[in-house]
Amino acid sequence: MDITFQSSADRRRCQFLFYGVLRHRRRIDTLLARLISRRPKPKLVAMLQVAVFELLSAGPERQPKVVDYAVGRIRRQMSRSEAGLANAVLRKIPAEDEKLQREAPAAVRFSHPDWLAERWTENFGPEAAEELMAWNLEPPPITFRVRGETPAIEALKPASWPGFVQLDGEWARVEPYLKAGMLYAQDPSTRLAPEALTVRPGEAVLDLCAAPGGKALALADALGRDTAGVLVAVDLPGPRLAPLDENLCKLDDGDGPRVCLLAADVRELGEETLKASRLPRLFDAVLLDAPCSNTGVLRRRPDAKWRLEPEDVEASAALQSELLAAAAKWVKPGGRLVYSTCSIEPEENAGVVKAFLKSPVGKDFTCQSQQIWLPWECGHDGAGVAVLVKGE
């Protein structure tokens, strides 16, 4: 269904409500289930979910207006009886939510699946688990990595991390700078893996699982204007290649490192593919930003927490182990391999690295450093980064 918005403000308001319901869904549905004995029609449920989120977001002085507006919309779009039900239910929500906050377990109060709350409580402790779940409920700010000089526009303000700025105005004001390649929209956590790779001008760099291309742009910027440098970006054939190609096209066409895009499964990438494109056989620096459970970025991807299942963490770790073993064969002696995820699960970070170092393909590597950034502590998305160095 196509939806036409009258203004950018209408679009932002719609996004705020949609993602708000998605983030707080369990809390909202629990409140409605406590107050309605028989589940209404799906349309009424959806309208009530939005209205409950607005109530929870509003101060006491605005709550009566929220109820009146929601009931009026339901009366116009449905029936008087359904509007009556909505009126009775919505006026009880604030008091019922106070009771829920006193009685319900953390997973319900902070709208997360039980198994995730239990896992994080075990891994980080109950207080930290609640901080993480509360963090995931907040809309993330829009941040940009600056490529070159920071544009002098009022719509931007400095972020807490060098090289990043934050949107502080209309998106339309920054769009020309995005199209020109001067800004790239990404969370500050994405700087961690490229920085850990410590790329130097003139090196041969391989970026695996490279889409959508933010890290590849950072690697290209690190290579500078040295024409001896090479950057090879690899990702699966299919729709992921389009945004990767679009972002790589933002690089200057003049002097600088050679940049090549390859469509391939990392596990099946062969020497013949590199040879056909006249690319190096081995690389000074290899980055593997592996697919993962996304538990470090649930604030940014609120849908993921409802799709995740406990077995997905183990499945991700198994795939990551395969990809890391495949990535290792492209590192030249003395070269660096950075393994990163946007997961905060030990199995997908320390567990994968530990198993790799014990494997035949990993015996030539040592772990120079390894760290997990926890969102509620570092102030940006969560991530895991390990630096592996191959012996001479």
Q: Catalytic site residues?
A: 342
φ and ψ of 287, to 5 deg: -115, 125
Contact criterion met (CB below 8 Å) for 187 and 380: yes
Contact criterion met (CB below 8 Å) for 343 and 386: no
Structure token digits, residue 119: 């896992």
From residue 2, alpha-carbon distances to 5, 20, 216 in Å are 10, 21, 34
Task: Give the distance, in angstroms, between the CA of residue 129 and the centroid of all CA atoms in the same chain.
Answer: 19
Distance of alpha carbon 355 from alpha carbon 359, whole angstroms: 6
Contact criterion met (CB below 8 Å) for 296 and 344: yes
**Bridge partner residues of 230 (DSSP):** 204, 258
Smallest CA-to-CA distance from 283 within 324, 244, 231, 357 is with 231
